[in-house]
Amino acid sequence: MTREQVRIDFEKALAAVAIIEDAGDTLKMADGIHREYLELQNYCWQGESAQRFHNVGMQVGEEWIKRRDQLLAIAEATRNAARRWYEAEMRAIEIIERREYDTV
């Protein structure tokens, strides 16, 4: 594997992480909109059914936040693993290059 191949693979991994982080941002934005809707709904609709609907809506929002946190944890773990892999591959290339020059 060449330095260029390692760099390209590393950039691909970071691009995948960015997609995951974008999904997390979308969930956060959706949660904000959802909460605004629930507040408006709570203001306009009263009664037992309204309260049940509101409670279910709040649970959905909490699940979105949990999923977002999970996505961000996956993104961070992927970024760290990619960085470790990149550094190990580059170090291996350096060792190989040094050996090739030492034997000539």
Determine the pLDDT at residue 102: 65
Residue 87 has pLDDT above 80, yes or no: yes
State the pTM of this model. 0.77
Residues constituting the chain: 104
pLDDT tens for each residue of 62-77: 988 999 999 999 999 9
How far are the Cα atoms of 9, 44, 50, 81, 91 from residue 17, in angstroms, in the given order?
A: 13, 41, 39, 11, 23
Place 28 in a pLDDT band, splitting at 50, 70 and 90: confident
What percent of the chain is modeled with pLDDT above 90? Answer: 70
